[in-house]
Structure 1
Amino acid sequence: MRIPIDLTYILQTFRARIALTWTIVIAENILIALIPLLIGWSIDGLLAGKVTELGWMVATLGGLGVIAVGRRIYDTRAYGTIRLHLGAELHRRSSALQISKRNARIDMSREFVDFLEEEAPQLITAFIQIGVSLAVLTYFDPALGLSSILVIAGMLLVYGCFHRRFYNVNSRLNEQREQQVDVLAKGKLLGVYQHLRALRRHEVAISDTEAVVYGGIFLLQIGFIAFNLYQAAGLPGITAGRIFSIASYSWEYVEAALMLPIALQSWSRLNEITRRINSSGDLSLG
């Protein structure tokens, strides 16, 4: 039985390359997650006439720069190789399809690698940042930790109301993309115009759905930040450095948490692409 091309197939086939880059991503993001705390300590240290904390912060930033540059140099080569082999494999499997569909599906398959190269590291970043921020905010005040959990639950609930719509509009867009080469080959101006107009209509539908989802999420973020600042201001023995750390971790928490619905949206799209590129015919919604 032929193994379907999907994220699992790519992770299994290229496990060594992906494991190395993700290990570097984890190290990079642990350092990133510590920066607001180090800045807060540095502020309090400098106000007390000490520079030790500032030295630790500078050393951490230097190490972070070296790791970040090295990872990006490696990533370009590793994921470029994966795209090459994946495109060749999909071409071999879909050789019986029309050129238009084969062309579109090879382009779609690159979105798997794009997800692993760009969005998966961001998701790793999000989980690390969420974990560190939740721990720090809970340490400062349990009420801050509880508000952190509640805002993520609210964001996922907002996305869940639109999950099926994301899948359907992406399916219509991909169906239209599969027709592009055939439409261009016919050379009829009206046909090309209608095709491009259909692409625009589906892209607008996706964008409008995203706008509604992120509008709802943004309202949750405003409430979260406002509550945390109000709560922090009333904590006993609060210092300028701690206020900065709470504000920074609260903001970074909502930025990281925002990656969860974005990742779920991408997952919906990749599920549709998986179903499409592993099929042997049309998948029109009708």
Structure 2
Amino acid sequence: MILKDGPITIPVLLSSFWRRIGLTWVLTLFETALTAFVPLFIGFAIDGLLAQNMAALWRLVLVLAALIGVSVARRAYDTRVFGTVRVEAGKAQVARSPELPVSTLNARLGMGRELVDFLENDLPLVMAALVQLVVSIALLYAFGPMLALAGAVAVIAMLLIYVLFHHRFYRLNGRLNQQIERQVRIIDIREPHRLLSHLSHLRRIEIRLSDTESILYGAIFIILLGLVVFNLWYAATALPITTGAIFSIVAYSWEFVDSALALPVTLQGWSRLSEISRRINSLA
């Protein structure tokens, strides 16, 4: 067994499978770098075509072809790596929890898979988002420092908003996980009124989580869309640049928005995983 004694946490999974996961991250960063420069090459291609020059268009085609090749290879490799991690994490959970009721163990096996899902989906997403944010800020700064300053202010405001919601996400996810642990036992009792009460309770918690997410992302969208509108206005009215450059500014502003949204998604996932890690490493 690869995972021996000790808690099953994100750092432990990373240290146990660091070579395999590290390669997926290298591929992810390469894919992200190619993606981040696509709007810039599109802007160059627009200006080149307007000047009857095809060279910039062919450079764009090469970048897109490389992006497709790397994306396909990474996804095929990811499935195999993280499938192995899920198997090893499940084996370790079962081996360490011989006294747990079947209902609780069943629920915690599902929760343990969420740790691996975070490594496979959420963590590469935030890595890609950070790379895109840095590239976007750098290129926006190259077009005009005010554009980059607006982006930095938007990120700070977004993170401050998330901090206000963190405790509520942690508490609601704790209630949801606790109720899920009881599910198999309640089904086994075969009492319709208890099953209905259980499902209704799950529904109420999920509604509270959804409402909290809606308020959080509504506030964040207002800030980020305000950034896009400001940068478009500023680029078109205050900067002496070409049509292709204006397109690149708008594209990078929108890419900035798309990348910035990955940060609260990941932070919200981390709130849930913090509660899950505490729960699955408990013997009770």
TM more than 0.5: yes
1:236 offset after TM fit, Å?
3.8
Q: How do 1:77-226 and structure 2 match up within 5 A?
A: 77-226=80-229
TM-score (norm 2): 0.97
Aligned counterparts of 2:226 and 2:23: Cα–Cα separation in 1:
39
Aligned counterparts of 2:132 and 2:246: Cα–Cα separation in 1:
18
> 2:79: which partner in 1?
76
Contact 1:97 1:280 in 2 (8 A): yes
Aligned counterparts of 1:254 and 1:213: Cα–Cα separation in 2:
15
Aligned counterparts of 1:249 and 1:263: Cα–Cα separation in 2:
21
1:2 offset after TM fit, Å?
4.1
Contact 1:95 1:102 in 2 (8 A): no
> Measured at CA, do residues 152 and 236 of structure 1 come closer, stay the same or move farther in structure 2, by a change above 3 Å?
closer
1:6 offset after TM fit, Å?
0.6
> 2:30: which partner in 1?
27
Aligned counterparts of 2:218 and 2:172: Cα–Cα separation in 1:
19
Deviations 1:57-116 (A, max 9, x none): 000100111111111111111111110111010111111111111110010000011111
TM-score (norm 1): 0.97
Deviations 1:215-258 (A, max 9, x none): 10011012111110111012343111001000000001011011
> 1:239: which partner in 2?
242
Aligned counterparts of 2:218 and 2:67: Cα–Cα separation in 1:
33
Aligned counterparts of 2:240 and 2:215: Cα–Cα separation in 1:
41
1:270 paired with 2:268, answer no
Task: Provide the alpha-carbon RMSD of the alignment.
Answer: 1.0
1:11 paired with 2:11, answer no
Deviates more, 1:270-279 or 1:114-123: 114-123
1:121 offset after TM fit, Å?
1.4
Find 2:63's aligned residue among 56, 60, 71.
60
Find 2:255's aligned residue among 241, 244, 252.
252
1:119 offset after TM fit, Å?
1.1
Secondary structure at the residue paired with 2:238?
coil
> Measured at CA, do residues 233 and 280 of structure 1 come closer, stay the same or move farther in structure 2, by a change above 3 Å?
same
Secondary structure at the residue paired with 1:234?
helix
> 1:284: which partner in 2?
none
1:125 offset after TM fit, Å?
1.2
Specify every segment of 5 or more residues in structure 2 that has no aligned partner in the other structure, as ranges: none
What letter is aligned with 2:154? Answer: V
Contact 2:82 2:120 in 1 (8 A): yes
> Measured at CA, do residues 256 and 236 of structure 1 come closer, stay the same or move farther in structure 2, by a change above 3 Å?
closer
Runs of 4+ in 1 over 3 A off after TM superposition: none
Aligned counterparts of 1:33 and 1:73: Cα–Cα separation in 2:
22
Specify every segment of 5 or more residues in structure 1 that has no aligned partner in the other structure, as ranges: 282-286
What letter is aligned with 1:111? Answer: E
Deviations 1:194-219 (A, max 9, x none): 11111111111110100000010011
Secondary structure at the residue paired with 1:161?
helix
> 1:261: which partner in 2?
264
Aligned counterparts of 2:199 and 2:98: Cα–Cα separation in 1:
26
Aligned counterparts of 1:85 and 1:228: Cα–Cα separation in 2:
48
Secondary structure at the residue paired with 1:49?
coil
Contact 1:159 1:261 in 2 (8 A): yes
Contact 2:225 2:257 in 1 (8 A): no
1:154 offset after TM fit, Å?
0.6
Aligned counterparts of 1:196 and 1:36: Cα–Cα separation in 2:
47
Secondary structure at the residue paired with 1:162?
helix
Counting matched residue pairs gives 281
Secondary structure at the residue paired with 1:199?
helix
